[in-house]
């Protein structure tokens, strides 16, 4: 396993996830500095997700012929430049536009991430390699968002955004140096862009891919309806602000990191039970945030929620490779679209609930949609099997290497 390259990829996921969700922890600071409402700042996630969702499939198709190692580095470079622009934005409009430039690269980055990770892993270890890369995702929640929130409260939100831009620039250098050459597979080099675009659109006709995407949309819409407005929820439920909020975000992410490591040990063998357990824990824990129960119950429920949702990307991404190994780029692009639809839709619904004074409904919506996703997982054993045998592993690995 090429651990150094996987770590570089993990660092890139850290920067992407932390920067995308940083407004969640800095809603009051950004709103105050740019003289807009907190609910408007929450829409930064919605606009970002909409652009990423709309652009992912066509841009992934257009870049099919670009060597994978170069494409990953280019998308992270776009991230770094756009974040530097966001840090210097004098108005809310320019801040939004800078983030939208980043959103254009976001979908391509996440579409090629899983296939590249699989090609860096030995046979039968794609799930563990994915878990290692997604440590960066979990660390973004563990350290990136809380430390970025604390830094933004101390030195200003622009410094926090600029710090992630610098981190992205470092990742570009590491990726350029550490990733081995990865030319597109022969069938990708000889396939026209129009055909690849059609494949990315028609892959949804595969029932297994469709069920995966529906499950993803359900759980992500619910999650981001509540998570986008975690700061006002923590303030309402537990009187947690400032350093208290940063500490809560730290605990949320820390448990998510532990859960990601744990789930990584089972995702290659028992994907169905792993995801079912995570969804059940999320449904119960986030529902406990609907009533005002006080500081301690708020903290406990939030960190359990963080553990459950933090490990889900590992399960979902590994499923993409398993259900569509011969159309992995197209399926990955479609899955990224479904994830971004979930983020944008959830953030929008959360904004509407918050703006109309129904903040407490968001956790109930998240819990209900987690239960919907759980029912989909239980009913779709061909997508989320109880156990994978060695023959299934060999079939998927053979397809991944072409």
What CATH number does residue 268 fall under?
1.20.1250.20
- Please say whether the dihedral angle defined by the alpha carbons of residues 305, 311, 315 and 316, taken in this order, is positive or negative: positive
Q: How far apart are CA 35 and CA 59, in angstroms?
A: 34
Contact 330, 200 (CB under 8 A): yes
Give 372's pLDDT tier (boundaries 50, 70, 90).
very high
316 alpha-carbon distance from chain centroid: 10
CA distances in angstroms from 365 to 140, 199, 287, 314, 374, listed in the order given: 25, 34, 8, 23, 14
Structure token digits, residue 2: 């090429």
The overall average pLDDT reported for the chain is 82
pLDDT at 199 exceeding the cut of 70: no
**What is the tens place of the pLDDT at every residue in 92-149?**
999 999 999 999 998 889 888 877 887 787 666 666 677 678 777 767 766 777 788 8
pLDDT at 64 exceeding the cut of 70: yes
Q: Give the chain's domain count.
A: 1
Tell me the helix, strand and coil percentages in the chain, rounded to 5: 85, 0, 15
* pLDDT at residue 75, rounded to an integer: 95
Give 217's pLDDT tier (boundaries 50, 70, 90).
very high
Question: Domain span at residue 212?
Answer: 3-400
Q: How far apart are CA 265 and CA 258, in angstroms?
A: 12
User: pTM of the entire structure?
Assistant: 0.73
* pLDDT at residue 197, rounded to an integer: 54
Q: How far apart are CA 205 and CA 289, in angstroms?
A: 37
pLDDT at 7 exceeding the cut of 70: yes
């Amino acid at each position: 396993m090429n651990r150094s390259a996987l770590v570089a990829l993990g660092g890139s996921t850290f920067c992407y996830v932390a920067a995308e969700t940083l407004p969640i922890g800095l809603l009051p600071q950004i709103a105050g500095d740019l003289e807009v409402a907190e609910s408007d700042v929450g829409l930064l996630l919605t606009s970002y997700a909409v652009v990423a969702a709309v652009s992912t499939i066509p841009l992934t198709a257009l870049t099919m012929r670009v060597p994978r190692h170069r494409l990953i580095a280019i998308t992270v470079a776009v991230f770094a430049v756009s974040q530097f622009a966001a840090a210097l934005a004098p108005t809310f409009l320019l801040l939004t536009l800078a983030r939208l430039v980043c959103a254009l690269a976001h979908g391509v980055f996440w579409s090629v991430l899983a296939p590249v990770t699989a090609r860096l892993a030995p046979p039968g270890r794609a799930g563990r390699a994915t878990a290692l890369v997604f440590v960066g995702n979990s660390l973004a929640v563990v350290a990136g968002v809380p430390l970025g929130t604390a830094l933004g409260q101390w030195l200003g939100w622009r410094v926090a955004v600029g710090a992630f831009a610098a981190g992205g620039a470092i990742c570009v250098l590491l990726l350029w140096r550490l990733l081995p050459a990865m030319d597109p597979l022969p069938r990708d080099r000889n396939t026209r862009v129009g055909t690849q675009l059609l494949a990315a659109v028609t892959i949804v006709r595969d029932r297994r891919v469709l069920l995966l995407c529906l499950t993803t949309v359900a759980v992500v819409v619910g999650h981001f309806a509540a998570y986008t407005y975690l700061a006002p929820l923590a303030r309402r439920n537990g009187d947690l602000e400032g350093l208290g909020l940063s500490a809560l975000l730290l605990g949320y992410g820390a448990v998510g990191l532990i859960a990601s490591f744990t789930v990584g040990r089972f995702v290659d063998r028992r994907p169905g039970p792993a995801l079912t357990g995570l969804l059940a824990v999320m449904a119960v824990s986030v529902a406990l945030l609907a009533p005002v129960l006080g500081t301690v119950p708020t903290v406990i429920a939030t960190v359990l929620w963080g553990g459950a949702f933090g490990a889900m990307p590992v399960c979902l991404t590994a499923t993409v490779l398993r259900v569509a190994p011969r159309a992995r780029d197209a399926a990955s692009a479609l899955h990224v679209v479904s994830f971004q639809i979930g983020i944008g839709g959830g953030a929008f619904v959360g904004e509407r609930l918050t703006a109309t004074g129904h903040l407490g409904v968001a956790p109930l919506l998240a819990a209900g949609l987690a239960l919907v996703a759980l029912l989909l997982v239980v009913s779709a054993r061909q997508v989320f099997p109880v156990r994978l045998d060695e023959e299934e592993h060999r079939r998927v690995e053979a397809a991944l290497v072409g």
